[in-house]
Amino acid sequence: MTDSLKVAVCGLGTVGAATLKIIQSFSTKLSQRSGKAIIVIAVSAKNRHKERDINLSNYKWFDDPVEMATDAGADVIVELIGGARGVALDVARATFKSGKHLITANKAMVAESGPELLSLAESSGSTFAYEATVAGGIPIVKALREGLVGNAISNIQGLLNGTCNYILSTMETSGRCFDDVLAEAQKLGYAESDPSFDIDGIDAAHKLAILASLAFNTQINFKAVHTEGIREVLPIDFKYAAELGFKIKLVGTAGIQEGKLYQWVHPCLLNKKNPMASVDGAYNSVVIEGSAVGTSILTGKGAGAEPTASAVIADIVDVATNRMNFTFGVPLSNLSAIKPIPIEQYLGAFYVRFEVQDKPGVFAKISAIFGQHNISMESILQRDHETNGNTHVVIVTDEIGEVFIRAALSNIMTNVNIIGCPSVIRIEKAL
């Protein structure tokens, strides 16, 4: 086989090393699938002398990844550095300006600088591939861009962050507090030393913005994604959620409503019959509603070196076979700017938990204020606190607008003796 695709890899962390191992181990299969010999010719990382469980002796070493991106020897640059800006973005820009193809696992960069990079890619006639940015081992980008092209997508829901799913699943099964489970997740390698991007929902929001652009032919608008994390979820809420038939998950959801786009990431109560409710641990799951296929569910490992590297390899083969035409399914000029729907226009049911002193009349006051704001209550639980003698009042509302529940809660906090802040979690509509 004389034809080849020459690859250079920026970043030799766990994903970079796993990518090189797969190329080395499956070279014959990859060549057969792509019709070309996949040849890694160069690598770049911060520390040349770091111990790595892989042989790098056959690759040219670059201390400067931007220099590597402009080197004439490579056809495609694989960017695995990470970070929305800085060196990773410099590498991406240099790659396209040099007329090379770019493959990246950098969801922050794609979500925040996607329009600029897409413009550069189209101008240079380069491929911009990013399957590894969302849900690791789940081929969700290819599914939306190619497999479901014959559908009008109405809604996407997803468990898009394995760290959050692991923490919430473990809190549910063990009854332990958030901080304790987070520390365990860090020891196991499921959470970073600074876990803010994961537990505050930012990582999931980056991924949702990418999926929404693909699904709805819209320009990426990460800033329009309403984002909440999981820091405020308490062990007691899992107990009451289970009693009511729900599980708590961090869900990203996007869809079109009356010509506008909603993109929201926040904790949700999912009915136990929802297919995502049974997805636990560090797994991801995406549910797509399509006009022709109905409900499609994709579940798998959403993070980790091997699943992410698997997605990178798929993009390498696509580049080798010239399989990708448009980065987001259509040319940049056909991506529309759809007006966002703010979370204040959310319409749905809510789970609300109050802690109150065990005194007569407290629930009557709460109920009266809900009535004043036209909020109907579907389910009510009253349970004694296990240790301090107070009472938990748990209410599941009927469908109501976000602004109404917020107004009612403000009224209650002013006029009823509530201990601490109420726990408020939206309830995702059944599929």
Cβ-based neighbours of 65, under 8 Å, separated by 6 or more: 10, 11, 44, 79, 81, 87, 91
**Alpha-carbon Rg of the chain, whole angstroms?**
24
What is the Cα–Cα distance from 101 to 255, expressed in whole angstroms? 31
Closest among 378, 379, 386 to 355, alpha carbons compared: 386
Using DSSP, state whether 419 is helix, strand or coil.
coil
What is the Cα–Cα distance from 264 to 284, expressed in whole angstroms? 17
Closest among 56, 35, 37 to 45, alpha carbons compared: 56
Catalytic residue among 207, 247, 249, 301: 207
161 neighbors 204 (Cβ within 8 angstroms): yes
207 in active site: yes
What is the Cα–Cα distance from 250 to 25, expressed in whole angstroms? 36
Q: What angle do CA 321, 326, 328 make, to 5 degrees?
A: 125
369 neighbors 411 (Cβ within 8 angstroms): yes
CB burial of residue 326 (10 Å; 0-12, 13-18, 19+):
middle
Q: Phi, psi at residue 333, to the nearest 5°?
A: -65, -20
Buried b (16+ CB within 10 A) or exposed e, 12-37: bebbbbbbbbbbeeeeeebbeebebb
Q: What angle do CA 246, 384, 420 make, to 5 degrees?
A: 80
Closest among 163, 200, 169 to 185, alpha carbons compared: 163
Catalytic residues: 207
